[in-house]
Structure 1
Amino acid sequence: MQPDAPAFVRPAPSGRAMLDAAQQLKGLGIMLVVAAHLVKYQTLGEPLWYSVFKFKVYLFHMPLLMFVSGYLFFHTGAHENQGKDLRHYLRRRANRLLVPFFAIAFISLAAKLLLRSRLYVDEAPAGWKEALLSLLVNTEQSPVQTVWFLLALFVFCCVTPALYRRLENNRLLLLVFAACLYPLPVPDIAFANRLTGFYLFFAAGAVAQSWRYLELPSARHALPLMLLFLTLLALPFNRLVGLPVCGLLACLALPRLLPLLGAMALRLLAFCGRHSMAIYLLNVMAVGVAKAAFLRVAAYQPWQFVPLLLVTFTAGLFGPVLVKWLLGLSPRTCILHRYLS
């Protein structure tokens, strides 16, 4: 059973339009991911405007990416997998999501431990025991919490087919169930709080896919939706309230904004979307290397904060793409290239 689309939704027949929109939204989301990873809270004399910017970005950028993931999950029919087909699908998903999650977690922790005595390193663990424990306990403060999305997406891919059938193939019931999960006081163990907090947006993507929301070419409602989104984003919400309010509204407003953007902006978003996996996995390392190099060149002064942001943002966005390209040049590293694609 599919929910009826609201009156303003008029599905278009073009699947190509949907794939383009999904790619561009992934690109926008991943650019915001990098922008929020440049400087840790309360370090390097972080000014108030950047702290506010990061807090606001965190209210909608990962919800947007999870929304697109839920949309594509249902678009491909993965929610209908059962038995042998489901097991085969989950093996592929584990290879695609869990292998890079644990690989990046190990590499990141090892790099922080090895370099902490030589370079400026954010959130360096005290030792291997603390580093490995950070993967399971108090994950909100974990040095590898930047890759939680991969683990959460794998769990959602695992549970959604059975849950969807249990709810009589009703996507609105799935959304209601996810909304009930959201406020639960879940302990910060193995990213469990992220699982309950972000399934809402995955389920919202499922409902939107039944409306074919990303296939709509019209930008008629873009300006009112964006105005409402920006107005609510400016309000002093705490995270518990702001995440569903701003996150869900972003999922409605930002797709409608795409037709208003110029060709160059859309090409940049599509480029970042195509390379979103590489950027997501490697942006923190690229930012860390660029930041360490920047701070090693000269003594840091507060006036250098904006130049530091420009350097680290460029490195975080294009450094992973360069690494991916280099890995694709040799047959010996093609498997690494495949995980970044």
Structure 2
Amino acid sequence: MTERVNSLDIAKGIAIVLVVVGHVAAREEVPGADWYNLLRSAIYSFHMPLFMVLSGISLGLSWKVLANHAAVLGYVRKRLKKLVIPYALLGLAIICGKLVASRFIHVDNVPPGVVSGLLDLFVRPMASAASFLWFIYVLSAYFLVFPWLLQQAPRATPWAMMALGIVLYPFAWPATFNIANLVMYLPFFSAGILLGQHWRHAASVIHPRLALWALPLLAALVYGVWQEPLPKWFVGTLSVPFVLALAHQVQGPGKAFFMTAGIYTFSIYLFNTLCIGVAKALMLNIIPWRDGYFVGHFVVLLIAGVWGPILVKKIAQKISPPVAAYL
């Protein structure tokens, strides 16, 4: 069990580092830094489906049928508190921060006001001032529903929900209440639960075959970068066995690094864009945002995006452990 959990933590660490790499310059092309623009394009073609599968694996590995409905309600309430409270408080902080900062400097995606900003946060999260938190919104919705279904039919639920997601996937869905993303990632979260439920067998098939999984993923990424992007569901599916196999085989300092990133995945997800933003504001006064100079930005912002949130979490643990539990 320990090795399985370690492998999953490392896989999460790989996934969240890819997220941070993509967020170094999330909304813009970097002039003269084609290597980064291509890298970001490749990462964005698969990283969120991968994340959804890994989240589903965690649930599939840990889920046990509970004693009664009251126990399920307690489980759901506990999981939602860990997701909704950080989502709401960090979203509010970003809304207020953008409103204040916009009086002095240029700020992207400034809400008209606090009330309208909060309304967008919960009704139209992809249009909100904190749109990067959408993953938590979708995950909260899944944890509101899946435990009840797993309690009644633990084996049938991931199959049924994966099939439902596949049937619904081709249709256009509204962004309101994040329905479009809820439908898009339902097959991936469900498939992750299925992998978690059958982890011993899945690991025996996936882990020894790193080269086998690497070849089709590499081909899809190269084609997507140089020709035309392939469907996200396709590239995302190819990325799952590769990252799981890589996580099992990585050794040395890389293993320790990705393990740490995996343990602090939620903190990094919450705070990486804020830490990158602060570091970027400081760096722009020193190094131009273009050409070969961007390498310096990339290294510093990547370090800030990974280790900054970990530092925030550690400081919070010393100051207020109850608050740190939500970070």
TM-score norm. by structure 2 comes to 0.88
Does the 8 A contact of 1:121 with 1:292 survive in 2? Answer: no
Cα offset, 1:44, TM superposition: 5.6
Matches of 2:36 and 2:126, distance apart in 1: 20
Cα offset, 1:215, TM superposition: 4.3
Cα offset, 1:319, TM superposition: 0.7
> Match for residue 143 of structure 2?
157
Provide, for residues 211-245 of structure 1, a one-character-per-residue CA deviation record: whole Å limited to 9, x for no partner: 31564397432101111111122223877x52211
**Pair 1:81–1:192, CA change in 2 (3 A):** farther
Matches of 2:76 and 2:57, distance apart in 1: 18
> Match for residue 10 of structure 1?
none
Does the 8 A contact of 1:278 with 1:321 survive in 2? Answer: yes
Query: Does structure 1 residue 191 correspond to structure 2 residue 178?
Result: yes
Provide, for residues 241-276 of structure 1, a one-character-per-residue CA deviation record: whole Å limited to 9, x for no partner: 522111112112211123432221111110001111
> Match for residue 318 of structure 2?
329
Q: Which runs of 5+ in 1 are unaligned?
A: 1-14
Residue pairs, 1:33-112, within 5 angstroms: 33-42=19-28, 45=31, 47-77=33-63, 83-112=69-98
1:244 is aligned, of 216, 233, 238, to: 233
Provide, for residues 69-118 of structure 1, a one-character-per-residue CA deviation record: whole Å limited to 9, x for no partner: 11121222257675211110111011111001111111122222222344
**Pair 1:282–1:178, CA change in 2 (3 A):** same
- Give the 3-state SS of the residue equivalent to 2:21 in structure 1: helix
**Pair 1:185–1:130, CA change in 2 (3 A):** same
> Match for residue 291 of structure 1?
280
> Match for residue 311 of structure 1?
300
Query: C-alpha root-mean-square deviation of aligned residues, in Å?
Result: 2.7
**Pair 1:177–1:78, CA change in 2 (3 A):** farther
Does the 8 A contact of 2:65 with 2:154 survive in 1? Answer: no
**Pair 1:42–1:245, CA change in 2 (3 A):** same
Matches of 1:81 and 1:249, distance apart in 2: 38
Matches of 1:119 and 1:299, distance apart in 2: 19
Does the 8 A contact of 1:291 with 1:312 survive in 2? Answer: yes
Residue pairs, 1:200-211, within 5 angstroms: 200-211=187-198
Letter in structure 1 aligned against 2:310: V
Letter in structure 2 aligned against 1:28: I
Provide, for residues 28-77 of structure 1, a one-character-per-residue CA deviation record: whole Å limited to 9, x for no partner: 11111111111133366374443332232122222222112111212222
More helix by share: 2
> Match for residue 265 of structure 1?
254
Provide, for residues 276-331 of structure 1, a one-character-per-residue CA deviation record: whole Å limited to 9, x for no partner: 1111111111011111111234665544322112221111111111111112223x
Matches of 2:256 and 2:106, distance apart in 1: 35
Query: Does structure 1 residue 338 correspond to structure 2 residue 322?
Result: no
Matches of 1:251 and 1:235, distance apart in 2: 18
Identity of aligned residues (%): 24
TM-score norm. by structure 1 comes to 0.85
> Match for residue 114 of structure 1?
100
Worse-superposed segment, 260-269 or 72-81: 72-81
**Pair 1:231–1:334, CA change in 2 (3 A):** same
**Pair 1:217–1:208, CA change in 2 (3 A):** closer
Letter in structure 1 aligned against 2:144: C
Worse-superposed segment, 37-46 or 23-32: 37-46
> Match for residue 276 of structure 1?
265
Letter in structure 2 aligned against 1:216: S
2:211 is aligned, of 223, 229, 235, to: 223
Matches of 2:27 and 2:302, distance apart in 1: 16
**Pair 1:265–1:252, CA change in 2 (3 A):** same
Q: Which runs of 5+ in 2 are unaligned?
A: none
Does the 8 A contact of 2:80 with 2:143 survive in 1? Answer: no
2:117 is aligned, of 131, 150, 165, to: 131
